[in-house]
Amino acid sequence: MTDDTGVGTIRKVGVIGAGQMGNGIAHVCAAAGFEVKLNDISRERIESGLATINGNLARQVASGRITEETRQKALSLITVAPTLADLGDADLVIESAVENEEVKRKILRELCPLLKPEAILATNTSSISITRLAAATDRPERFIGIHFMNPVPVMELVELVRGIATEDSTFETARAFVERLGKTIAVSEDFPAFMVNRILLPMINEAIYTLYEGVGSVEAIDTAMRLGARHPMGPLELADFIGLDTCLSIMQVLYEGLADSKYRPCPLLVKYVEAGWLGRKTQRGFYDYRGEKPVPTR
């Protein structure tokens, strides 16, 4: 893809992690005409991500947002990349594996020697320091936070976060790339959880404290915020949607990074994660999704 919009150097995009965010990122990149290579720790995970992309592209066709031709073209642009070495010819790699700093650092360390020297590396982390992750790479000047929102094909916003060493040219290429995806950019400084999650996650954590202290039931809290504050989803429903493991990781980054007790993760959130009740992705969280309709678990 060559043009004068600044994104001309990017044709091939590698995506690491085929979970809910990784498959959404692959979806929007392919729909915008980029070649995409999708990686995860197992072929099954990648296949499952591809099946989700297929379903989400089909619903966009059904609602008239894209044409059948765009759907087919997008699908043909996505290939399976079972190993990190398969991402070696990518111009941009977006890491979107689990929200765990050790896992991300390990991926970045292993990936760097396999990449072209000029390739740009980005992370979709929700909260972890871009500067710290950049330090695990051989290219802090070509490292940047490109933080998509969930569900990626629907949400308009992307936060762009520079690390201390990120070069202007990296930032400008990332900006042009995100604009090519049709998203709106909000630029955030590199502080714990950036802007959206700095504001959103304490609200979700407070909703969990509200449940923990018996102020209201799961249904009452969600109804209160849906109808009382016009949020599209109640905070507990949204927590299940994001993933309770991800919510807990973000709260821990805020708590440790800002050293303020107001960010203390609610013990009930910790308990749900310890139980493996991670929300929609495991079919159980503040709601049980195994039946026809979600049923509150408290």
- Residues annotated as catalytic are 126, 147, 159, 197
Q: Which listed range, 54-62, 129-137, 148-156, 161-169, lies at the site for ligand NDP (CB under 6 A)?
A: 148-156
Question: How far is it, in rounded angstroms, from Cα 296 to Cα 298?
Answer: 6
252 binds ligand NDP (CB under 6 A): no
Question: How far is it, in rounded angstroms, from Cα 66 to Cα 53?
Answer: 14
SS3 144: strand
Name the binder of 18 from ligand CAA, ligand NDP, none, CB < 5-8 A by kind: ligand NDP
40 binds ligand NDP (CB under 6 A): yes
150 is in an annotated binding site: yes
Residue type, 237: E
Residues near ligand CAA (CB under 6 A) are 56, 59, 63, 65, 126, 149-151, 153-155, 196-197, 200, 232-233, 238, 242, 246
271 is in an annotated binding site: no
Question: How far is it, in rounded angstroms, from Cα 167 to Cα 142?
Answer: 6
Closer residue to ligand NDP (CB): 54 or 70: 54
73 is in an annotated binding site: no
On whether the CB atoms of residues 21 and 150 are closer than 8 A, the answer is yes
Binding mask 72-111 for ligand NDP (x = CB under 6 A): ------------------------xxxx---x---x----
Closer residue to ligand CAA (CB): 155 or 186: 155
Work out the angle at residue 110's Cα, subtended by the Cα atoms of residues 48 and 49, and round it to the nearest 5 degrees.
Answer: 10
State how beta strands 157-162 and 295-296 pair. Answer: unpaired
214 is in an annotated binding site: no
On whether the CB atoms of residues 139 and 188 are closer than 8 A, the answer is no
On whether the CB atoms of residues 94 and 16 are closer than 8 A, the answer is yes
Question: How far is it, in rounded angstroms, from Cα 61 to Cα 56?
Answer: 9
Site residues (vs ligand NDP, CB under 6 A)? 16-22, 39-41, 45, 96-99, 103, 107, 124-126, 148-150, 242-243, 246, 281
* Residue numbering of the annotated binding site: 17-22, 40, 99, 104, 126, 150, 281
